[in-house]
């Protein structure tokens, strides 16, 4: 376990193409950092049988999502593959005030929005070792049909181009433990400043 010696919380944005292992990395960070928490996003997409409302996502209808945008309750929001996702601002602010490392697993659009509001945000983009490896991971997870997998691969090159301009750190997820250790090092260095 790692205990960071800082009282001020920070936001760490973790982004990357579908299939690079963002979710697994974020879960490992929360396990290994005593003061880390994973922000739970609001979404309009359908819940899968294995997901729990309030744990994996807050599942809401499009009208409720729009109401939250209008009331300024979301730190960031974006449409991704026909569904809307957003980060509840109040939960993030509470965690920062409590000195937490707040991990946001969001896309590059959302990452840019967060960085504008919170300039000290640490921006980390996760990459697969190769495009071929990314394609294999997408097909291997069995969540998408062939057409959806092609859309996600096409989107990946756009996300990488944005990340090269807007993200401070690029981490290749070839070996999970190595990638997680690298991210922990980035977080610890930032907290010491």
What is the CATH number for 144?
Answer: 3.40.50.300
Q: What is the C-alpha separation between 40 and 62, in angstroms, rounded?
A: 17
Q: Is residue 139 in a domain?
A: yes
Say if 1 falls within a structural domain. Answer: no
- Domain count of the fold of the chain: 1
Which residue from 26, 1, 31, 2 is spatially nearest to 191, judged by alpha carbons? 2
What domain range includes position 105? 10-192
Cβ proximity of 126 and 173 under 8 Å: yes
Is position 71 within any domain? yes
Among 14-18, 129-133, 143-147, name the one with the lowest average pLDDT: 143-147
For the entire predicted model, the pTM comes to 0.84
Express each pLDDT in 63-73 by its tens digit.
Answer: 999 999 999 99
Please check whether residue 4 lies inside any domain of the structure: no
43 occurs within a structural domain: yes
83 in any annotated domain:
yes
């Amino acid at each position: 376990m790692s205990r960071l010696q800082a009282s001020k919380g920070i936001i760490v944005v973790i982004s990357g193409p579908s299939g690079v292992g963002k979710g697994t990395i974020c879960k490992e960070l929360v396990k290994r950092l005593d003061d880390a928490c994973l922000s739970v996003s609001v979404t309009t997409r359908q819940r899968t049988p294995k997901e729990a409302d309030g744990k994996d996502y807050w599942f809401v209808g499009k009208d409720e999502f729009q109401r939250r945008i209008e009331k300024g309750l979301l730190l960031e929001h974006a449409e991704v593959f026909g569904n809307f996702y957003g980060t509840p601002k109040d939960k993030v602010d509470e965690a920062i005030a409590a000195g937490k490392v707040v991990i946001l697993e969001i896309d590059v659009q959302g990452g840019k929005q967060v960085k504008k509001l919170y300039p000290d945000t640490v921006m980390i983009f996760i990459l697969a070792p190769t495009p071929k490896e990314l394609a294999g991971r997408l097909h291997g997870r069995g969540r998408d049909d062939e057409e959806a997998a092609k859309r996600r691969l096409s989107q990946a090159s756009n996300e990488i181009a944005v990340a090269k301009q807007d993200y401070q750190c690029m981490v290749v997820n070839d070996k999970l433990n190595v990638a997680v250790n690298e991210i922990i090092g980035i977080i610890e260095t930032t907290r010491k400043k």
